[in-house]
Amino acid sequence: MNPVYGPTNPNPDAHQQAARRYVQVVELKPEREAEYREMHAEVWPKVVAAVKRANISNYSIHLMALGEKKYLVAYFEYTGKDPEADFATIAQDPTTRDKWWPITDDCQVRLAGTPDGEQWKRAEMVMHLP
């Protein structure tokens, strides 16, 4: 289905000056929940720095249960001009790529329809009320 844009759901391409909002979802393996919570209680400084260098701010991850499964829902704002290039810089950070992601990705289950090469599935914004 095609997006519908209006006053409370602005076209992200038409609002290049404002922060772009992203929401992503991934399933959490129940046996890894404690480890995942512990890691995110004190994210490694080099990982935080890589995220900030990529023009990402207001980053939060929420945990929710739906039926028998648990899901992680991430929200962040992007203020740069080229999201694909900036997001790629995170993947180029050795600490994030070689140490952080192998642990956190192993705590997760990719959702059906997640693009190849990505761990989290992006959600479409259907409303924003500033």
Dump pLDDT digits (tens) for 75-110.
999 999 999 999 999 999 999 999 999 999 999 999
Residue 15 has pLDDT above 60, yes or no: no
Q: Which of 127, 126, 129, 128 has its CA nearest to residue 1?
A: 126
Q: What percent of the chain has pLDDT over 70?
A: 96
pLDDT at position 34, please?
98
Q: Is the residue at 75 inside a domain? A: yes
Residue 4 has pLDDT above 90, yes or no: no
Q: Is the residue at 108 inside a domain? A: yes
Domain that holds residue 45: 19-122
Band of the pLDDT at 6, cuts 50, 70, 90? Answer: confident
Residues 114 and 101: their CA atoms lie apart, in Å, by 17
- pTM across the whole model: 0.88
Domain CATH for 100? 3.30.70.100
Number of domains in the chain: 1
Q: Is the residue at 47 inside a domain? A: yes
Q: Is the residue at 26 inside a domain? A: yes
Q: Is the residue at 107 inside a domain? A: yes
